[in-house]
Chains A and B, each alone.
Chain A
Amino acid sequence: MIADKAPDPKPTKPRRGPTTRRRVVQAITPWAFLALPLGLLILLTYLPAFNLIRYSFTDWDGIDPEQNWVGLANYRRMATDPTLYRVLLVSLFYLVGAVAQIAIALYFATILSFKVFAKNLFKGILFFPYLINGVAVGYVFLYLFRKDGTLDTTLAFFGLQDPPLWLGDPKLINASLAGTSVWRFTGMNFVLFLGAIQSIPGDLYEAAELDGANSWRRFWHIILPGVRRVVTLSFILAISGALAVFEIPYVMTGGGNGSKTFAIQAVEMAFVHRKVGLASAMALVLLGMVLAVTWIQRRFFPDERAELT
């Protein structure tokens, strides 16, 4: 029976035995289908997560077979040591980058949803960076940012001599890395926005055309409301993404020169300082922050769902 869609037809002969069996079978069937997916989910996500929680109450070094229970010590440390949170400032760069990324993506999505020469080519070019392997992106941008690299040479071509050290200057490094992140992920937002704009009914535009609305007003009154949901969603994802940023700074600079993020700090705590217990607590605190952002979003924008990254 399609239980949740169709009403369960009354059995013609309400005899006890088969009905019970049927009920049992009915109750078990969905779980039979879920056994494999749920089994894997529990095994690969929840069991490790549970272990992570367990580690966070120990002083485990990640090597020793023995783990000493230390109670709340790691959490007390998280609550009392503000230096552990200083690296969160780095996330601000990625957050600003994400805002720029959304703005850029929205601009080009708007432009490309109308008649443009070589539309599909531009669309493909803008999107393609998103598909590139992360390690490859790292190398491409190391090549770009190094001294006398692509960026310096390009600036010199325009007459700008004496360029700064894009990764070597502690004031610039996070901006450079956030820029890399923008380059890599704008295409993703762009395609999402484009999809949303294209699902706006065409007759709205026609009506606006008749009213003589200019492009700005068309954008403001038709497009923006049409993509509001997905833009809001992107913002939420940007915040949790900025909190958990890891791959780009890890591959490109290893967290050096002030580019250390909260996630890198936790990994360092586990692998350099051999404090897996504390690192686990840090991971859980980070998870807590991400969940809090998601919860706030659900509370204030209940019709939009931030489900995926």
Chain B
Amino acid sequence: MKPILRLSAKAAKYVSLLVAAVVCVGPLTVVLFASLKTKQEYATTGPLDPPADWLNFANFGTAFTNGQMMRGFVNTAIILAVSLTGAIFVGTLAAYALDRFAFKGKKLVYGAFLLASLIPSVLMQVATFHIIYGLGLFNTRGAAIVLFMGTDVIAIYIFLQFMASIPISLDEAAMIDGASRWTIYWRIVLPLLRPAIATAVIIKGIAIYNEFYIPFLYMPSRDLGVISTSLYRFKGPYGAQWEVIAAGTILVILPTLVLFLFLQRHIYRGLVAGAVK
């Protein structure tokens, strides 16, 4: 290839990358700008003008206190902790059974989990609602916890995939020593699954943090607001104050960003593992 051509190809490459970066970051940056402006400033400046005072966090205060963000974060944290523990337990149990046993109906079980992942869950909510209510979980954190715990198929696939790489000879050795199936699961397989569990926790954790419809429908009490629903309800009374809504939006995005910066590698790996088998 001729040097000039190569150079222009290189230029095109970087230009396209920069454009893409601007498209990805731009919409978020202007929201950050807006969140740092005063009411008057917001009214008189354009969206692309940076704020006059980069340290004007007044809107964040308003959003945080009036939007009950603290409560949202606490509720989200509780739901995350409990449902992730549950989902990991449920997912590893299922994966263990499916990977380490041969039994009649295995294909059927496998298919049942598979089919479940294809059902558009939004449309089932009327039916699911009555189940949740019947369990006495309506308007409790339990509703979200059980739903996040039980409807998880992605985790099972991640575990299945990883479990295939744990040598069966380990199980056999333990069995010769007289270990029960449960001991093998609890003492050998589960600890070895740690990397897969980390992956599943991240993928699932992001999904739970971002989920809107389930807490919205099943936990209408304001005391039970999670991050998504707090942000959504916030829009009503502050609908005219975009600078405050912007602050709320940034507040919600911030934890995701921090987590992403620390766990990048795991997140990428998790996604690839979770989506393609």
Contact B128–A283 (Cβ < 8 Å): no
A121 CB to closest chain B CB, in angstroms? Answer: 8
Q: Given A143-B31, A150-B47, A191-B271, A308 and B231 touching (CB < 8 A)? A: no
A171 to B268, CA, bound (A): 37
Residues of chain B contacted by A33 (CB below 8 angstroms): 93-94, 96-97, 101, 181, 185
Using an 8 Å CB-CB cutoff, how does the interface string of B231-270 with A read, 1 for contact, 0 for none? 1100100000010011001001100110011001001100
CB distance B119 to A287 under 8 Å? Answer: yes
A143 & B34 in contact (Cβ 8 Å cutoff): yes
User: B272 touching A3 by the CB < 8 A rule?
Assistant: no
A200 within 8 A of B: no
CB of A37 within 8 A of CB of B120, answer no
A99 at the interface (CB under 8 A from B): no
Q: Complex Cα distance A259/B139, Å?
A: 31
State how many angstroms separate the Cβ of B247 from the closest Cβ of chain A. 11
CB–CB A287/B175 < 8 A: no
Q: How far is the CA of A83 from the CA of B182 in the complex (A)?
A: 56
Instruction: State which residues 1-39 of B face A: CB under 8 Å.
Output: 1, 9, 13-14, 16-17, 20-21, 23-28, 30-31, 34
When distances are taken between beta carbons in the complex, the residues of chain B under 8 Å from A108 are 16-17, 20
Complex: chain B residue closest to A188, CB-CB = B271
Q: Cβ of A301 < 8 Å from any Cβ of B? A: no
B199 at the interface (CB under 8 A from A): no
Residues of B contacting A129 in the complex (Cβ-Cβ under 8 angstroms): 24
On whether the beta carbons of B260 and A131 are closer than 8 Å, the reply is: yes
Q: Which of A40, A122, A233, A276 contacts B21 (CB 8 A)?
A: A122
Kindly report which residue of chain B lies nearest to residue A284, judged by CB atoms: B123
Residue of B21, B123, B206, B249 with highest tally of chain A CB at under 10 A: B123
For B242, what are the chain A residues with a Cβ–Cβ distance below 8 Å? 143
Instruction: Point out the residues of chain A lying under 8 angstroms from B9, CB to CB.
Output: 215
B261: chain A residues at CB < 8 Å are 124
B126 touches A (CB below 8 Å): yes
Least CB distance from A41 to B in Å reads 6
* Residue A272 interfacial (CB < 8 Å): no
**In the complex, A46→B128 CA distance in Å?**
10
Contact present for B27 and A191 (CB under 8 Å): no
Interface-central residue, B119, B146, B212, B245, by most chain A CB under 10 Å = B119
Cβ–Cβ < 8 Å partners of B101 in chain A = 3-4, 29-30, 33
Question: Is B193 interfacial (CB-CB < 8 Å)?
Answer: no
Q: Which residues of B contact A41 (CB under 8 A)?
A: 112-113, 116, 150
**A205 CB-CB contact with B under 8 Å:** no
Q: A37 to B90, Cβ gap below 8 A?
A: yes
Least distance between A214 CB and chain B CB atoms (Å): 6
Contact with B13, one of A111, A125, A134, A188 (Cβ below 8 angstroms): A111
A277–B150 alpha-carbon span in the complex (Å): 26
A283 engages B268 (CB within 8 Å): no
CA–CA, A140 and B256, complex, Å: 15
Digit string of B61-103 for contact with A (CB within 8 Å is 1, else 0)?
Answer: 0000000000000000000000000000111011011101111
Nearest Cβ distance between residue B97 and chain A, in whole angstroms? 4
Within 8 Å of chain B (Cβ to Cβ): is A267? yes
Interface assignment of A219: CB less than 8 Å from any CB of chain B: no
Among A12-20, A47-55, A74-82, A87-95, the stretch in contact with B: A47-55
Which B residues lie within 8 Å of A103 (CB)?
none
Residues in chain B near residue A195, CB distance under 8 A: 268, 271-272, 276
CA distance A131 to B257 in the complex (A): 8
A97-136: CB near B (< 8 Å → 1, else 0) gives 0000000100110010000110010101111110111111
**Chain B neighbourhood of A48, CB < 8 A:** 124, 127-128, 130-131
Closest B residue by C-beta to A117: B14
Contact with B along A226-259 (1 / 0, CB 8 A): 0001100100000010001011000100000000
Chain A 154-170 interface mask (CB, 8 Å, partner B; 1/0): 10010000000000000
B277, CB-defined interface residue at 8 Å: yes
A27 at the interface (CB under 8 A from B): yes
Q: Judge if A307 is at the interface, Cβ distance under 8 Å.
A: yes
Residue of B nearest to A246 (CB): B122
A44 with B245, Cβ < 8 A, contacts A37-B91, A49-B119, A135-B228 known: no
Residues of A within 8 A of B (CB): 1-6, 27, 29-31, 33-34, 36-38, 40-41, 43-49, 51-52, 55, 62, 104, 107-108, 111, 116-117, 120, 122, 124-129, 131-136, 139-141, 143-144, 148-150, 153-154, 157, 183, 187-188, 191-192, 194-196, 214-215, 229-230, 233, 240, 244, 246-247, 251, 263, 266-267, 270, 276, 279-280, 282-283, 286-287, 290-291, 294, 305, 307-309
12 contacts between A and B (CB under 8 A): A41-B112, A41-B113, A48-B128, A127-B268, A135-B252, A157-B48, A214-B1, A229-B276, A270-B126, A279-B126, A286-B123, A291-B118
Q: Supply 12 further A-B pairs (C-beta < 8 A) apart from A41-B116, A139-B246, A246-B122.
A: A4-B100, A5-B168, A30-B106, A33-B93, A124-B264, A125-B25, A131-B206, A131-B260, A150-B30, A183-B27, A214-B1, A287-B119
